[in-house]
Structure 1
Amino acid sequence: MRRERVSDDIYVFTSELYAQVTASAVVTREGIVVIDTLPFPIETREMIEYLRALGQGPIKYLVNTHWHGDHTNGNYLFDDNIEVVCHRRCQQLMEELGQDALNESRENTPLLDEVIIRVPDIVFDEGDLVLHVGSKSIEMTLTPGHTLDSTVAYVREDKVLLAADTVMPVPYFVWGSRQEFKNSLKLLKEYNLESIVQGHGEVLLRGEIPASLESSIRYLELLEQKVSEVVEKGRGKDALEKLTIDRCGKSRIPLNGLVQDLHRANVFAIFDELTGNKIE
Protein backbone atom coordinates (compact mmCIF):
# COMPACT_ATOMS: atom_id res chain seq x y z
CA MET A 1 0.00 0.00 0.00
CA ARG A 2 1.25 3.45 -0.92
CA ARG A 3 0.17 6.58 0.94
CA GLU A 4 0.40 10.32 0.31
CA ARG A 5 -1.09 13.59 1.56
CA VAL A 6 -3.02 15.82 -0.80
CA SER A 7 -3.56 18.48 1.87
CA ASP A 8 -2.65 18.89 5.54
CA ASP A 9 -5.63 16.77 6.62
CA ILE A 10 -6.37 14.46 3.68
CA TYR A 11 -4.52 11.20 3.14
CA VAL A 12 -4.72 8.94 0.10
CA PHE A 13 -3.95 5.22 0.23
CA THR A 14 -3.28 3.36 -3.02
CA SER A 15 -3.37 -0.41 -3.44
CA GLU A 16 -0.20 -2.00 -4.74
CA LEU A 17 -1.98 -5.33 -5.15
CA TYR A 18 -4.86 -4.46 -7.50
CA ALA A 19 -5.43 -1.78 -10.14
CA GLN A 20 -4.09 1.11 -8.05
CA VAL A 21 -7.41 1.39 -6.20
CA THR A 22 -7.54 4.38 -3.88
CA ALA A 23 -9.10 5.03 -0.49
CA SER A 24 -8.90 8.32 1.40
CA ALA A 25 -9.16 9.71 4.91
CA VAL A 26 -10.14 13.17 6.10
CA VAL A 27 -8.48 13.62 9.49
CA THR A 28 -9.58 15.95 12.29
CA ARG A 29 -9.06 15.87 16.06
CA GLU A 30 -12.80 15.35 16.48
CA GLY A 31 -12.84 12.33 14.20
CA ILE A 32 -11.75 10.74 10.93
CA VAL A 33 -13.88 10.10 7.86
CA VAL A 34 -12.64 7.28 5.62
CA ILE A 35 -13.75 7.22 1.99
CA ASP A 36 -13.81 3.65 0.64
CA THR A 37 -11.65 0.69 1.60
CA LEU A 38 -8.92 -1.12 -0.32
CA PRO A 39 -9.51 -4.39 -2.20
CA PHE A 40 -7.66 -6.81 0.08
CA PRO A 41 -7.88 -7.18 3.88
CA ILE A 42 -4.11 -6.90 4.33
CA GLU A 43 -4.07 -3.39 2.86
CA THR A 44 -7.22 -2.14 4.56
CA ARG A 45 -5.83 -3.32 7.92
CA GLU A 46 -2.61 -1.43 7.20
CA MET A 47 -4.62 1.72 6.42
CA ILE A 48 -6.66 1.46 9.63
CA GLU A 49 -3.54 0.89 11.73
CA TYR A 50 -1.85 3.91 10.19
CA LEU A 51 -4.84 6.16 10.91
CA ARG A 52 -5.00 5.00 14.51
CA ALA A 53 -1.28 5.63 14.94
CA LEU A 54 -1.69 9.27 13.89
CA GLY A 55 -3.06 9.96 17.36
CA GLN A 56 -5.83 12.18 16.04
CA GLY A 57 -9.54 11.58 16.56
CA PRO A 58 -11.16 8.15 16.20
CA ILE A 59 -12.58 6.91 12.92
CA LYS A 60 -16.21 8.07 13.01
CA TYR A 61 -17.52 7.34 9.53
CA LEU A 62 -16.73 5.07 6.61
CA VAL A 63 -18.20 6.21 3.30
CA ASN A 64 -18.80 3.80 0.42
CA THR A 65 -18.83 5.61 -2.92
CA HIS A 66 -20.36 2.65 -4.79
CA TRP A 67 -21.01 -1.04 -4.28
CA HIS A 68 -18.05 -2.62 -6.11
CA GLY A 69 -15.94 -4.90 -3.94
CA ASP A 70 -12.60 -3.30 -4.73
CA HIS A 71 -13.91 -0.28 -2.81
CA THR A 72 -16.04 -2.03 -0.14
CA ASN A 73 -14.41 -5.39 0.67
CA GLY A 74 -12.82 -3.90 3.78
CA ASN A 75 -16.04 -2.65 5.40
CA TYR A 76 -16.15 -5.53 7.87
CA LEU A 77 -12.71 -4.62 9.27
CA PHE A 78 -13.98 -1.38 10.80
CA ASP A 79 -15.31 -1.44 14.37
CA ASP A 80 -19.04 -1.98 14.79
CA ASN A 81 -19.49 1.49 16.30
CA ILE A 82 -18.19 3.15 13.11
CA GLU A 83 -21.11 4.19 10.94
CA VAL A 84 -20.95 3.12 7.30
CA VAL A 85 -22.57 5.63 4.95
CA CYS A 86 -23.66 5.42 1.31
CA HIS A 87 -26.36 6.36 -1.17
CA ARG A 88 -29.50 4.23 -1.00
CA ARG A 89 -28.74 2.79 -4.43
CA CYS A 90 -25.40 1.54 -3.14
CA GLN A 91 -27.05 -0.20 -0.19
CA GLN A 92 -29.58 -1.86 -2.49
CA LEU A 93 -26.99 -3.01 -5.04
CA MET A 94 -24.69 -4.38 -2.35
CA GLU A 95 -27.58 -6.38 -0.89
CA GLU A 96 -28.61 -7.68 -4.31
CA LEU A 97 -25.24 -8.28 -5.99
CA GLY A 98 -22.48 -8.04 -3.41
CA GLN A 99 -22.29 -11.66 -2.25
CA ASP A 100 -22.42 -13.14 -5.75
CA ALA A 101 -19.70 -10.75 -6.92
CA LEU A 102 -17.53 -11.66 -3.92
CA ASN A 103 -18.01 -15.38 -4.53
CA GLU A 104 -16.92 -14.94 -8.14
CA SER A 105 -13.84 -12.95 -7.12
CA ARG A 106 -12.87 -15.59 -4.55
CA GLU A 107 -12.58 -18.27 -7.23
CA ASN A 108 -9.17 -16.96 -8.29
CA THR A 109 -8.24 -14.82 -5.29
CA PRO A 110 -7.66 -16.66 -1.98
CA LEU A 111 -6.79 -13.35 -0.30
CA LEU A 112 -10.54 -12.62 -0.30
CA ASP A 113 -11.56 -15.80 1.54
CA GLU A 114 -11.99 -14.03 4.89
CA VAL A 115 -14.03 -11.10 3.51
CA ILE A 116 -17.54 -10.65 4.90
CA ILE A 117 -20.05 -8.38 3.18
CA ARG A 118 -20.95 -5.50 5.49
CA VAL A 119 -23.79 -3.43 4.09
CA PRO A 120 -23.85 0.28 5.03
CA ASP A 121 -26.38 1.22 7.69
CA ILE A 122 -26.80 4.95 7.02
CA VAL A 123 -28.11 6.01 3.62
CA PHE A 124 -29.03 9.21 1.86
CA ASP A 125 -31.38 9.50 -1.08
CA GLU A 126 -32.65 12.80 -2.42
CA GLY A 127 -30.15 15.65 -2.69
CA ASP A 128 -26.70 15.69 -1.10
CA LEU A 129 -25.49 14.53 2.30
CA VAL A 130 -22.99 16.65 4.20
CA LEU A 131 -20.94 15.14 7.02
CA HIS A 132 -19.65 17.74 9.48
CA VAL A 133 -16.71 16.44 11.47
CA GLY A 134 -14.45 18.85 13.30
CA SER A 135 -13.57 21.70 10.97
CA LYS A 136 -14.39 19.72 7.82
CA SER A 137 -17.54 19.55 5.70
CA ILE A 138 -17.68 16.53 3.40
CA GLU A 139 -20.39 16.80 0.77
CA MET A 140 -21.55 13.57 -0.88
CA THR A 141 -23.25 13.83 -4.27
CA LEU A 142 -24.72 11.15 -6.54
CA THR A 143 -22.76 11.04 -9.82
CA PRO A 144 -24.00 7.98 -11.74
CA GLY A 145 -22.19 6.66 -14.77
CA HIS A 146 -19.54 4.19 -13.70
CA THR A 147 -22.34 2.53 -11.75
CA LEU A 148 -25.88 3.68 -11.06
CA ASP A 149 -24.97 4.39 -7.43
CA SER A 150 -21.64 6.16 -7.88
CA THR A 151 -21.03 9.14 -5.61
CA VAL A 152 -18.26 11.63 -4.99
CA ALA A 153 -17.17 13.27 -1.74
CA TYR A 154 -16.11 16.93 -1.80
CA VAL A 155 -14.11 18.37 1.08
CA ARG A 156 -15.19 22.00 0.92
CA GLU A 157 -12.47 23.55 3.06
CA ASP A 158 -9.66 21.91 1.08
CA LYS A 159 -11.31 22.02 -2.36
CA VAL A 160 -10.43 18.35 -2.78
CA LEU A 161 -12.74 15.96 -4.62
CA LEU A 162 -12.60 12.32 -3.57
CA ALA A 163 -14.10 11.16 -6.84
CA ALA A 164 -13.78 7.37 -6.65
CA ASP A 165 -14.57 5.74 -10.01
CA THR A 166 -16.44 8.74 -11.37
CA VAL A 167 -12.94 9.90 -12.33
CA MET A 168 -10.52 7.30 -13.67
CA PRO A 169 -7.78 7.29 -16.32
CA VAL A 170 -10.46 5.95 -18.68
CA PRO A 171 -14.22 6.13 -17.93
CA TYR A 172 -15.56 2.61 -17.39
CA PHE A 173 -19.34 2.31 -17.71
CA VAL A 174 -20.15 -1.38 -18.24
CA TRP A 175 -22.04 -1.41 -14.92
CA GLY A 176 -23.62 1.97 -15.48
CA SER A 177 -24.56 4.46 -18.20
CA ARG A 178 -22.30 6.38 -20.55
CA GLN A 179 -24.83 9.21 -20.94
CA GLU A 180 -25.12 9.64 -17.18
CA PHE A 181 -21.33 9.44 -17.02
CA LYS A 182 -21.03 12.39 -19.39
CA ASN A 183 -23.54 14.36 -17.33
CA SER A 184 -21.67 13.61 -14.11
CA LEU A 185 -18.31 14.64 -15.58
CA LYS A 186 -19.84 17.89 -16.81
CA LEU A 187 -21.14 18.50 -13.28
CA LEU A 188 -17.64 18.06 -11.86
CA LYS A 189 -16.33 20.78 -14.18
CA GLU A 190 -18.36 23.26 -12.12
CA TYR A 191 -16.41 22.54 -8.92
CA ASN A 192 -13.57 24.80 -7.78
CA LEU A 193 -10.88 22.20 -7.17
CA GLU A 194 -7.30 22.00 -6.01
CA SER A 195 -7.08 18.26 -6.65
CA ILE A 196 -9.07 15.16 -7.56
CA VAL A 197 -8.40 11.76 -6.04
CA GLN A 198 -9.28 9.27 -8.76
CA GLY A 199 -10.76 5.88 -7.89
CA HIS A 200 -7.76 4.26 -9.56
CA GLY A 201 -4.39 5.80 -10.30
CA GLU A 202 -2.67 9.10 -9.67
CA VAL A 203 -4.07 12.19 -7.96
CA LEU A 204 -4.96 14.96 -10.42
CA LEU A 205 -3.64 18.41 -9.54
CA ARG A 206 -5.35 21.73 -10.21
CA GLY A 207 -3.69 22.39 -13.57
CA GLU A 208 -4.49 18.90 -14.86
CA ILE A 209 -8.17 18.79 -13.93
CA PRO A 210 -9.90 20.72 -16.75
CA ALA A 211 -8.11 18.85 -19.53
CA SER A 212 -8.59 15.49 -17.83
CA LEU A 213 -12.35 15.92 -17.38
CA GLU A 214 -12.76 17.22 -20.92
CA SER A 215 -10.69 14.31 -22.25
CA SER A 216 -13.00 11.81 -20.55
CA ILE A 217 -16.14 13.51 -21.89
CA ARG A 218 -14.63 13.52 -25.37
CA TYR A 219 -13.66 9.85 -25.02
CA LEU A 220 -17.26 8.87 -24.28
CA GLU A 221 -18.53 10.84 -27.26
CA LEU A 222 -15.87 9.55 -29.65
CA LEU A 223 -16.30 5.95 -28.54
CA GLU A 224 -20.04 6.01 -29.19
CA GLN A 225 -19.46 7.61 -32.58
CA LYS A 226 -16.89 5.02 -33.67
CA VAL A 227 -18.90 1.99 -32.49
CA SER A 228 -22.02 3.40 -34.17
CA GLU A 229 -20.10 3.64 -37.44
CA VAL A 230 -19.13 -0.03 -37.14
CA VAL A 231 -22.77 -1.02 -36.57
CA GLU A 232 -24.06 1.13 -39.44
CA LYS A 233 -21.60 -0.52 -41.83
CA GLY A 234 -22.70 -3.99 -40.71
CA ARG A 235 -19.24 -4.91 -39.49
CA GLY A 236 -18.44 -7.02 -36.44
CA LYS A 237 -15.77 -8.26 -34.07
CA ASP A 238 -12.70 -7.61 -36.21
CA ALA A 239 -13.68 -3.99 -36.69
CA LEU A 240 -14.31 -3.57 -32.96
CA GLU A 241 -10.86 -4.88 -32.12
CA LYS A 242 -9.36 -2.11 -34.24
CA LEU A 243 -10.99 0.56 -32.06
CA THR A 244 -8.01 0.81 -29.75
CA ILE A 245 -7.93 3.14 -26.78
CA ASP A 246 -5.39 5.35 -28.55
CA ARG A 247 -7.82 5.93 -31.42
CA CYS A 248 -10.36 7.19 -28.90
CA GLY A 249 -8.06 9.77 -27.37
CA LYS A 250 -6.81 8.00 -24.25
CA SER A 251 -3.40 6.60 -23.35
CA ARG A 252 -2.87 2.86 -23.05
CA ILE A 253 -0.26 3.28 -20.31
CA PRO A 254 -2.15 4.06 -17.03
CA LEU A 255 -2.86 1.36 -14.45
CA ASN A 256 -0.05 -0.72 -15.95
CA GLY A 257 -2.06 -1.10 -19.15
CA LEU A 258 -5.29 -2.25 -17.48
CA VAL A 259 -7.06 0.69 -19.14
CA GLN A 260 -6.90 -1.24 -22.41
CA ASP A 261 -9.07 -4.01 -20.95
CA LEU A 262 -11.53 -1.47 -19.55
CA HIS A 263 -11.70 0.26 -22.92
CA ARG A 264 -12.34 -3.01 -24.74
CA ALA A 265 -15.19 -3.82 -22.36
CA ASN A 266 -16.66 -0.38 -23.05
CA VAL A 267 -16.50 -0.99 -26.81
CA PHE A 268 -18.36 -4.28 -26.61
CA ALA A 269 -20.92 -2.88 -24.16
CA ILE A 270 -21.90 -0.18 -26.66
CA PHE A 271 -22.00 -2.71 -29.49
CA ASP A 272 -24.29 -4.97 -27.47
CA GLU A 273 -26.57 -2.05 -26.66
CA LEU A 274 -26.81 -0.90 -30.28
CA THR A 275 -27.29 -4.35 -31.82
CA GLY A 276 -28.78 -6.53 -29.11
CA ASN A 277 -26.08 -9.07 -29.92
CA LYS A 278 -23.53 -10.51 -27.54
CA ILE A 279 -19.99 -10.94 -28.84
CA GLU A 280 -17.56 -12.91 -26.73
Structure 2
Amino acid sequence: MKFLKITLTLTFLMFISVGFAQKKEVEIKVNKVTDNVYMLIGQGGNIAISVGEDGVFMIDDQFAHLTPKILKAIETVTDKPIKFLINTHWHGDHTGGNENIHKEGAVIVAHENVRKRMSVEQFNKDRNKTTPASPKGALPVVTFSKDVSFHFNDEEIFIFHVHEAHTDGDAMVYFTKSNVLHMGDTYFQGKYPFIDLNSGGSTQGYIAAIKKALLLINEDTKVIPGHRNLSTKAELQEYLGMLESIEKKISAEIKAGKTEEEVTKNTTLTKKYDDLGYGDWFISGEVLRKTFYRSLQKPE
Protein backbone atom coordinates (compact mmCIF):
# COMPACT_ATOMS: atom_id res chain seq x y z
CA MET A 1 0.00 0.00 0.00
CA LYS A 2 2.88 2.36 0.92
CA PHE A 3 4.54 1.61 -2.43
CA LEU A 4 1.25 2.35 -4.22
CA LYS A 5 0.95 5.72 -2.43
CA ILE A 6 4.51 6.64 -3.39
CA THR A 7 3.88 5.61 -7.00
CA LEU A 8 0.69 7.66 -7.20
CA THR A 9 2.43 10.67 -5.64
CA LEU A 10 5.30 10.45 -8.12
CA THR A 11 2.84 10.07 -11.02
CA PHE A 12 0.93 13.14 -9.84
CA LEU A 13 4.13 15.18 -9.50
CA MET A 14 5.24 14.10 -12.96
CA PHE A 15 1.86 15.17 -14.35
CA ILE A 16 2.16 18.59 -12.68
CA SER A 17 5.74 18.99 -13.94
CA VAL A 18 4.70 18.14 -17.49
CA GLY A 19 1.88 20.66 -17.22
CA PHE A 20 4.25 23.44 -16.16
CA ALA A 21 6.75 22.42 -18.83
CA GLN A 22 4.06 22.59 -21.49
CA LYS A 23 3.09 26.05 -20.28
CA LYS A 24 6.71 27.19 -20.50
CA GLU A 25 7.23 25.60 -23.88
CA VAL A 26 4.47 27.44 -25.75
CA GLU A 27 5.97 28.47 -29.06
CA ILE A 28 4.90 31.62 -30.88
CA LYS A 29 4.81 30.78 -34.57
CA VAL A 30 5.06 33.64 -37.06
CA ASN A 31 3.28 33.06 -40.37
CA LYS A 32 3.70 35.55 -43.20
CA VAL A 33 0.30 36.38 -44.68
CA THR A 34 1.28 39.21 -47.05
CA ASP A 35 4.37 41.39 -47.51
CA ASN A 36 3.62 43.36 -44.36
CA VAL A 37 0.93 41.42 -42.44
CA TYR A 38 1.81 38.46 -40.22
CA MET A 39 -0.24 36.03 -38.16
CA LEU A 40 1.14 34.90 -34.79
CA ILE A 41 -0.09 31.62 -33.32
CA GLY A 42 0.61 30.62 -29.73
CA GLN A 43 -1.77 29.99 -26.85
CA GLY A 44 -5.05 31.86 -27.11
CA GLY A 45 -6.49 33.97 -29.88
CA ASN A 46 -4.59 34.48 -33.11
CA ILE A 47 -2.56 37.69 -33.27
CA ALA A 48 -2.08 39.76 -36.40
CA ILE A 49 0.52 42.46 -36.93
CA SER A 50 1.05 44.97 -39.71
CA VAL A 51 4.66 46.11 -39.97
CA GLY A 52 6.10 49.06 -41.87
CA GLU A 53 7.72 52.45 -41.58
CA ASP A 54 5.05 53.71 -39.16
CA GLY A 55 5.66 50.88 -36.71
CA VAL A 56 3.68 47.83 -35.59
CA PHE A 57 -0.11 47.71 -35.68
CA MET A 58 -1.14 44.77 -33.50
CA ILE A 59 -4.43 42.88 -33.11
CA ASP A 60 -4.95 40.98 -29.82
CA ASP A 61 -2.19 39.76 -27.49
CA GLN A 62 -3.08 36.37 -25.93
CA PHE A 63 -2.03 35.85 -22.26
CA ALA A 64 0.21 38.01 -20.05
CA HIS A 65 2.81 35.31 -19.41
CA LEU A 66 3.41 35.00 -23.17
CA THR A 67 4.22 38.68 -23.77
CA PRO A 68 8.03 38.23 -23.69
CA LYS A 69 7.82 35.45 -26.29
CA ILE A 70 5.39 37.46 -28.41
CA LEU A 71 7.69 40.48 -28.36
CA LYS A 72 10.66 38.31 -29.35
CA ALA A 73 8.62 36.85 -32.20
CA ILE A 74 7.75 40.33 -33.44
CA GLU A 75 11.43 41.29 -33.27
CA THR A 76 12.18 38.56 -35.84
CA VAL A 77 10.08 40.57 -38.30
CA THR A 78 10.77 44.21 -37.40
CA ASP A 79 12.64 46.42 -34.95
CA LYS A 80 9.86 49.02 -35.01
CA PRO A 81 7.82 49.69 -31.84
CA ILE A 82 4.20 48.65 -31.32
CA LYS A 83 2.15 51.81 -31.84
CA PHE A 84 -1.42 50.49 -31.65
CA LEU A 85 -3.05 47.43 -30.12
CA ILE A 86 -6.59 46.54 -31.19
CA ASN A 87 -8.73 44.21 -29.06
CA THR A 88 -11.30 42.27 -31.08
CA HIS A 89 -13.31 41.65 -27.86
CA TRP A 90 -12.82 41.45 -24.09
CA HIS A 91 -11.96 37.79 -23.39
CA GLY A 92 -8.67 37.15 -21.58
CA ASP A 93 -7.12 34.93 -24.26
CA HIS A 94 -7.18 38.01 -26.53
CA THR A 95 -6.54 40.79 -23.98
CA GLY A 96 -4.42 39.12 -21.30
CA GLY A 97 -1.25 40.87 -22.45
CA ASN A 98 -2.81 44.34 -22.66
CA GLU A 99 -1.07 45.83 -19.65
CA ASN A 100 2.32 44.54 -20.83
CA ILE A 101 1.84 45.86 -24.37
CA HIS A 102 0.63 49.19 -22.96
CA LYS A 103 3.93 49.43 -21.04
CA GLU A 104 5.71 49.00 -24.39
CA GLY A 105 4.08 52.27 -25.45
CA ALA A 106 1.11 51.00 -27.45
CA VAL A 107 -2.25 52.78 -27.54
CA ILE A 108 -5.04 50.25 -26.86
CA VAL A 109 -8.17 50.56 -28.99
CA ALA A 110 -11.45 48.60 -28.81
CA HIS A 111 -15.21 48.85 -29.01
CA GLU A 112 -16.73 50.72 -26.07
CA ASN A 113 -18.30 47.54 -24.67
CA VAL A 114 -14.85 45.96 -24.36
CA ARG A 115 -13.74 48.68 -21.96
CA LYS A 116 -17.04 48.47 -20.08
CA ARG A 117 -16.72 44.73 -19.52
CA MET A 118 -13.02 44.82 -18.67
CA SER A 119 -13.60 47.64 -16.17
CA VAL A 120 -15.82 45.58 -13.86
CA GLU A 121 -15.99 42.03 -12.53
CA GLN A 122 -17.71 39.63 -14.93
CA PHE A 123 -19.62 36.55 -13.81
CA ASN A 124 -20.44 33.73 -16.23
CA LYS A 125 -23.35 31.82 -14.74
CA ASP A 126 -23.09 28.91 -17.20
CA ARG A 127 -19.45 28.25 -16.33
CA ASN A 128 -19.79 29.46 -12.72
CA LYS A 129 -16.68 31.56 -13.29
CA THR A 130 -15.87 35.08 -12.18
CA THR A 131 -13.38 37.22 -14.11
CA PRO A 132 -12.01 40.11 -12.04
CA ALA A 133 -11.87 43.65 -13.37
CA SER A 134 -8.72 44.44 -15.36
CA PRO A 135 -6.11 46.88 -14.07
CA LYS A 136 -6.22 50.40 -15.47
CA GLY A 137 -3.16 49.83 -17.65
CA ALA A 138 -4.93 46.98 -19.48
CA LEU A 139 -8.00 49.00 -20.48
CA PRO A 140 -8.54 50.44 -23.95
CA VAL A 141 -7.85 54.18 -23.93
CA VAL A 142 -9.54 54.81 -27.28
CA THR A 143 -13.00 53.36 -27.85
CA PHE A 144 -15.51 53.53 -30.67
CA SER A 145 -19.20 52.74 -30.99
CA LYS A 146 -19.48 51.69 -34.63
CA ASP A 147 -16.52 52.01 -37.02
CA VAL A 148 -13.07 53.59 -37.06
CA SER A 149 -10.30 53.83 -39.66
CA PHE A 150 -6.53 54.05 -39.24
CA HIS A 151 -4.13 55.29 -41.89
CA PHE A 152 -0.99 53.40 -41.01
CA ASN A 153 1.86 51.64 -42.83
CA ASP A 154 0.69 53.00 -46.17
CA GLU A 155 -2.82 51.56 -46.04
CA GLU A 156 -6.26 52.22 -44.64
CA ILE A 157 -7.15 49.84 -41.82
CA PHE A 158 -10.90 49.63 -41.36
CA ILE A 159 -12.26 48.45 -38.00
CA PHE A 160 -15.96 47.77 -37.66
CA HIS A 161 -18.26 46.59 -34.90
CA VAL A 162 -20.59 43.61 -35.38
CA HIS A 163 -23.57 43.48 -33.03
CA GLU A 164 -24.29 40.75 -30.49
CA ALA A 165 -22.16 38.10 -32.19
CA HIS A 166 -19.50 36.31 -30.13
CA THR A 167 -20.00 39.04 -27.50
CA ASP A 168 -21.52 42.54 -27.54
CA GLY A 169 -18.15 44.17 -28.24
CA ASP A 170 -16.78 42.33 -31.28
CA ALA A 171 -14.75 44.12 -33.93
CA MET A 172 -13.30 42.91 -37.20
CA VAL A 173 -10.18 44.49 -38.67
CA TYR A 174 -9.76 44.77 -42.44
CA PHE A 175 -6.43 45.72 -44.02
CA THR A 176 -7.77 47.21 -47.25
CA LYS A 177 -4.57 47.27 -49.30
CA SER A 178 -3.23 43.94 -48.05
CA ASN A 179 -6.71 42.39 -48.40
CA VAL A 180 -6.53 40.66 -45.01
CA LEU A 181 -9.46 40.37 -42.59
CA HIS A 182 -8.99 39.52 -38.89
CA MET A 183 -12.35 38.29 -37.60
CA GLY A 184 -11.59 37.72 -33.94
CA ASP A 185 -13.82 35.09 -32.39
CA THR A 186 -16.63 35.66 -34.85
CA TYR A 187 -14.93 32.79 -36.69
CA PHE A 188 -13.47 29.53 -35.31
CA GLN A 189 -12.05 27.98 -38.45
CA GLY A 190 -13.21 24.38 -38.92
CA LYS A 191 -14.82 24.06 -35.46
CA TYR A 192 -18.04 25.02 -33.72
CA PRO A 193 -17.93 28.56 -32.33
CA PHE A 194 -18.12 29.66 -28.73
CA ILE A 195 -20.97 32.15 -28.56
CA ASP A 196 -20.89 33.93 -25.21
CA LEU A 197 -24.54 34.57 -24.39
CA ASN A 198 -23.51 35.90 -20.97
CA SER A 199 -21.51 38.65 -22.67
CA GLY A 200 -24.26 39.75 -25.01
CA GLY A 201 -23.53 37.32 -27.84
CA SER A 202 -26.19 35.57 -29.89
CA THR A 203 -26.39 32.95 -32.61
CA GLN A 204 -28.39 35.33 -34.79
CA GLY A 205 -25.79 38.07 -34.44
CA TYR A 206 -22.98 35.59 -35.04
CA ILE A 207 -24.50 34.56 -38.36
CA ALA A 208 -25.14 38.20 -39.30
CA ALA A 209 -21.50 39.04 -38.54
CA ILE A 210 -20.22 36.38 -40.92
CA LYS A 211 -22.61 37.62 -43.61
CA LYS A 212 -21.23 41.13 -43.16
CA ALA A 213 -17.68 39.85 -43.51
CA LEU A 214 -18.56 37.97 -46.69
CA LEU A 215 -19.97 41.15 -48.24
CA LEU A 216 -16.66 42.92 -47.62
CA ILE A 217 -14.14 40.36 -48.85
CA ASN A 218 -13.38 38.61 -52.15
CA GLU A 219 -11.94 35.30 -53.28
CA ASP A 220 -8.37 36.52 -52.74
CA THR A 221 -8.85 37.76 -49.18
CA LYS A 222 -6.76 36.12 -46.47
CA VAL A 223 -9.03 35.51 -43.47
CA ILE A 224 -7.51 35.31 -39.99
CA PRO A 225 -9.91 33.58 -37.57
CA GLY A 226 -9.89 34.09 -33.81
CA HIS A 227 -8.61 30.53 -33.46
CA ARG A 228 -7.03 27.89 -35.67
CA ASN A 229 -5.83 28.20 -39.25
CA LEU A 230 -5.56 30.94 -41.85
CA SER A 231 -8.68 30.73 -43.99
CA THR A 232 -10.44 31.87 -47.17
CA LYS A 233 -13.76 33.27 -48.31
CA ALA A 234 -14.80 29.84 -49.60
CA GLU A 235 -14.21 28.24 -46.19
CA LEU A 236 -16.08 31.06 -44.48
CA GLN A 237 -19.05 30.52 -46.80
CA GLU A 238 -19.09 26.83 -45.87
CA TYR A 239 -18.96 27.81 -42.20
CA LEU A 240 -21.97 30.09 -42.66
CA GLY A 241 -23.84 27.24 -44.33
CA MET A 242 -23.14 25.01 -41.34
CA LEU A 243 -24.48 27.57 -38.86
CA GLU A 244 -27.55 28.38 -40.93
CA SER A 245 -28.37 24.69 -41.34
CA ILE A 246 -28.22 24.10 -37.58
CA GLU A 247 -30.19 27.28 -36.87
CA LYS A 248 -32.96 26.14 -39.22
CA LYS A 249 -33.24 22.74 -37.59
CA ILE A 250 -33.29 24.04 -34.03
CA SER A 251 -35.78 26.78 -34.92
CA ALA A 252 -38.09 24.05 -36.23
CA GLU A 253 -37.67 22.10 -32.98
CA ILE A 254 -38.58 25.18 -30.95
CA LYS A 255 -41.67 25.80 -33.08
CA ALA A 256 -42.62 22.16 -32.51
CA GLY A 257 -42.59 22.82 -28.75
CA LYS A 258 -39.43 20.87 -27.92
CA THR A 259 -37.73 21.67 -24.60
CA GLU A 260 -34.15 22.77 -24.12
CA GLU A 261 -33.26 19.34 -22.75
CA GLU A 262 -34.82 17.58 -25.74
CA VAL A 263 -32.96 19.76 -28.23
CA THR A 264 -29.68 19.50 -26.34
CA LYS A 265 -29.87 15.69 -26.33
CA ASN A 266 -30.97 15.39 -29.98
CA THR A 267 -27.69 14.48 -31.67
CA THR A 268 -29.32 14.25 -35.10
CA LEU A 269 -29.55 18.05 -35.26
CA THR A 270 -25.79 18.44 -35.59
CA LYS A 271 -24.78 14.92 -36.69
CA LYS A 272 -23.67 15.94 -40.19
CA TYR A 273 -21.16 18.42 -38.80
CA ASP A 274 -20.25 16.37 -35.73
CA ASP A 275 -19.16 13.64 -38.15
CA LEU A 276 -16.99 16.20 -39.98
CA GLY A 277 -15.15 16.99 -36.75
CA TYR A 278 -16.65 20.39 -35.96
CA GLY A 279 -17.45 19.34 -32.39
CA ASP A 280 -14.19 17.66 -31.39
CA TRP A 281 -12.49 20.80 -30.12
CA PHE A 282 -13.55 23.45 -27.57
CA ILE A 283 -17.32 23.41 -28.24
CA SER A 284 -19.17 20.11 -28.65
CA GLY A 285 -22.32 19.53 -30.68
CA GLU A 286 -24.25 19.26 -27.42
CA VAL A 287 -23.04 22.64 -26.19
CA LEU A 288 -23.77 24.25 -29.57
CA ARG A 289 -27.33 22.87 -29.63
CA LYS A 290 -27.97 24.28 -26.16
CA THR A 291 -26.51 27.63 -27.17
CA PHE A 292 -28.69 27.87 -30.27
CA TYR A 293 -31.78 26.90 -28.29
CA ARG A 294 -31.18 29.51 -25.59
CA SER A 295 -30.30 32.24 -28.08
CA LEU A 296 -33.28 31.59 -30.35
CA GLN A 297 -35.60 31.55 -27.34
CA LYS A 298 -34.55 35.05 -26.35
CA PRO A 299 -37.12 37.76 -27.17
CA GLU A 300 -36.15 39.80 -30.22
TM-score band by shorter chain is 0.7 to 0.9
Q: Is this contact kept in 1: 2:250–2:269, CA < 8 A?
A: no
Query: Which amino acid in 2 is paired with 1:44?
Result: T
| Shift of residue 254, structure 1, vs aligned partner | 5.9
| Shift of residue 184, structure 1, vs aligned partner | 1.6
| Shift of residue 34, structure 1, vs aligned partner | 0.7
| Shift of residue 185, structure 1, vs aligned partner | 1.2
**Size of the alignment, in residue pairs?**
256
Structure-2 residue corresponding to 1:51: 74
Aligned ranges 1:33-72 → 2 under 5 Å: 33-38=57-62, 40-72=63-95
Kindly indicate whether residue 176 of structure 2 is the aligned counterpart of residue 179 of structure 1: no
Kindly indicate whether residue 32 of structure 2 is the aligned counterpart of residue 5 of structure 1: yes
User: When the two structures are superposed, what TM-score results if normalisation uses the length of structure 2?
Assistant: 0.74
Structure-1 residue corresponding to 2:174: 154
Q: Deviations over 1:128-175 (max 9, x none)?
A: 211122313211011231111111101111100011112213333233
**Pairwise CA RMSD of aligned residues?**
2.9
Structure 1 window deviating more from structure 2 (130-139 vs 266-275): it is: 266-275
Unaligned runs of 5+ in 2: 1-27
Q: Deviations over 1:20-67 (max 9, x none)?
A: x311111112210110011x3332321122223544321100100111
Structure-1 residue corresponding to 2:143: 123
Structure 1 window deviating more from structure 2 (142-151 vs 232-241): it is: 232-241
| Shift of residue 78, structure 1, vs aligned partner | 1.2
Q: Is this contact kept in 2: 1:154–1:161, CA < 8 A?
A: yes
Query: 1-side partners of 2:289 and 2:33: how far apart?
Result: 34
Q: Deviations over 1:176-220 (max 9, x none)?
A: 122222222111112234210000000014xxx23x222232233
| Shift of residue 236, structure 1, vs aligned partner | 5.4
Query: 2-side partners of 1:25 and 1:272: how far apart?
Result: 36
Q: Is this contact kept in 2: 1:226–1:243, CA < 8 A?
A: no
CA spacing shift, 1:222–1:260, aligned 2, 3 Å = same
Structure 1 window deviating more from structure 2 (168-177 vs 158-167): it is: 168-177
Query: 2-side partners of 1:53 and 1:79: how far apart?
Result: 20
Query: 2-side partners of 1:160 and 1:250: how far apart?
Result: 29
Query: Which amino acid in 1 is paired with 2:106?
Result: I
Structure ID, larger Rg: 2
Unaligned runs of 5+ in 1: 107-112
Q: Is this contact kept in 2: 1:37–1:71, CA < 8 A?
A: yes
Aligned ranges 1:52-201 → 2 under 5 Å: 52-80=75-103, 81-97=105-121, 104=129, 116=135, 118-126=138-146, 128-144=147-163, 145-169=165-189, 170-175=192-197, 176-190=201-215, 191-192=217-218, 193-201=220-228
Query: 1-side partners of 2:275 and 2:166: how far apart?
Result: 19
SS of the aligned residue for 1:222 comes to helix
